[in-house]
Amino acid sequence: MGTTDWRTVNPSGDRRVVVTKELPGDRWLQLLTRAGYRVDVCTSSRILGPEEIAAALQPGCVAAIGQLTESWDAALLATLKQAGGVMYSNYAVGFDNVDVAAASALGLPVGNTPGVLTETTAELAVALTLAVARRIAEGDRYMREGRFNGWLPTLLLGELLYRKTLGIIGAGRTGTTYARMLVEGHKMDLVYYDVLPNEALEDYLADYGGFLEAHGEQPVHCRRAESIEDLLRAADVVSLHAVLDASTQHLIDAARLAQMKEHAVLINASRGPLIDEAALVEHCRAHPHFRAGLDVYEDEPALKPGLAELDNVVLVPHLGSATSWTRENMAALAATNVVAVLNGWPVWDGPDVRPFLADPSPQAAPSILNAEILNLPTVTDTSIDDRALRRRTA
């Protein structure tokens, strides 16, 4: 491990934890050092390759906190295990960068950081939606280039969202929160596509529609689409909130882009490979009134050729969770997962992770993805004792 790109905190600690990037705030570091661990932190902004990470795990590492930009595949996880590692904690809620099956085979718990990104990521998707629909990025460039000579009736005309139709693909926590923000804020009808019906969302929007009617306004409507194509044909705005797996790779391809309205808006703040980016470039070139807003990219951090030159696409650098509150709490959750596993504490099975956002937090791991597979003890109460423990059964 090179000394120039790494710093060591609490060098006298009895067990060594490797953290592959500097994390926001200081609570995460306090949690680790208070537990008596030596912490080696990479200070470089470069994305580390597997060889660099493998080298950093030696000599001896009991746990690592890594990043979504790193591939924690079977080989790297085996290196962690060989170095003395007993767990891996992902600084993200998503985990498509981790071979969880390989970790489970090695007996390594894999932590992640759910529950603190939902509103933040949904807000970013809303911000992209408004920026794209109202051509904010184009207007900013127009002003900075000194081209504004006064108000014009036809200058940078965008799309009105009020009372239009919103489509979301993936009605989980973030998709649902994003949908509610736009439906409540702009009185949009909602059509959603998900493998499972979201009855809670449907009931909520039915109640909201009743509230609007009681105040003399037109109600909003919500329905579950029969297919993705059904949704694409109906929606004025389409936002992607699906997980990334083999079935959702290039979920939006050339054929499905062709199903969308001429003036539609497409938003992706989920995972880049959900969109065939090359097909999106060609579609945006051929349909100048079609607009897209992207926070994530198929070959991140690289862009497909031609994407950056398109005026009808807004690009931001993976900012979905980028608020201080969210990123600092993600760091604290990632560190708490490490402390909990190394101390043999149970895994949290409560309704949310809010008890972990303040000191003192429960003596439990906030989120271990493979807890059931590894048959780890779980707890559902904030008062942790032997009586509260239970063991999951398959």
Q: Which of 184, 318, 372, 392 is catalytic?
A: 318
Sorted by where each begins, the domain ranges of the chain are 6-116+323-391, 118-315
CA-based torsion, 192, 196, 202, 204: positive or negative = negative
List the one residue out of 240, 238, 281 whose CA is nearest residue 259.
238
Contact 157, 146 (CB under 8 A): no
Give the confidence band of 381 by pLDDT, cuts at 50, 70, 90: low
Least reliable range by pLDDT among 31-40, 154-163, 358-367: 358-367
Share of the chain above pLDDT 70, in %: 95
Provide the β-strand partners of residue 110.
Answer: 88
Give the confidence band of 386 by pLDDT, cuts at 50, 70, 90: very low
Calpha distance 23→42 (Å, rounded) = 10
The pLDDT, as a whole number, for residue 150 is 97
| CA distances in angstroms from 386 to 35, 77, 113, 343, 366, listed in the order given | 21, 31, 25, 14, 18
Provide the β-strand partners of residue 232.
Answer: none
Would residue 241 show up in a list of annotated catalytic residues for this protein?
A: no
Q: Encode pLDDT of 287-331 as tens digits.
A: 999 999 999 999 999 999 999 999 999 999 999 999 999 999 999
Domain 6-116+323-391 has CATH 3.65.10.10: no
Average pLDDT over residues 119-137: 98
Contact 269, 301 (CB under 8 A): no
| CA count, 13 A, side-chain hemisphere, 18 | 28
Calpha distance 203→344 (Å, rounded) = 41
Residues 6+ apart with CB under 8 A from 90: 65, 66, 67, 68, 72, 97, 98, 110, 111, 112, 113, 334
Give the confidence band of 1 by pLDDT, cuts at 50, 70, 90: low
Residues 6+ apart with CB under 8 A from 188: 161, 162, 163, 164, 165, 166, 182, 220, 237
Would residue 300 show up in a list of annotated catalytic residues for this protein?
A: yes
Average pLDDT over residues 220-242: 98
Sheet holding 377-379, edge to edge: 347-348, 377-379, 390-391
Written as six digits, the tokens of 23 are: 């994390």
Q: Encode pLDDT of 170-201 as tens digits.
A: 999 999 999 999 999 999 999 999 999 999 99
Would residue 291 show up in a list of annotated catalytic residues for this protein?
A: no
The pTM of this model reads: 0.91
Q: Which of 271, 283, 291, 327 is catalytic?
A: 271
For the chain, the first-to-last Cα distance in angstroms comes to 41
Q: In whole numbers, what is the pLDDT of the chain averaged over residues? A: 95
Q: Which of 52, 123, 300, 372 is catalytic?
A: 300
Written as six digits, the tokens of 375 are: 């048959």
Contact 1, 56 (CB under 8 A): yes
Written as six digits, the tokens of 171 are: 């009605």
Comparing 6-116+323-391 with 118-315, is the CATH topology the same? yes
Q: Looking at the predicted structure, is the pLDDT value of residue 2 above 80?
A: no
Q: Which CATH class is domain 118-315?
A: alpha beta
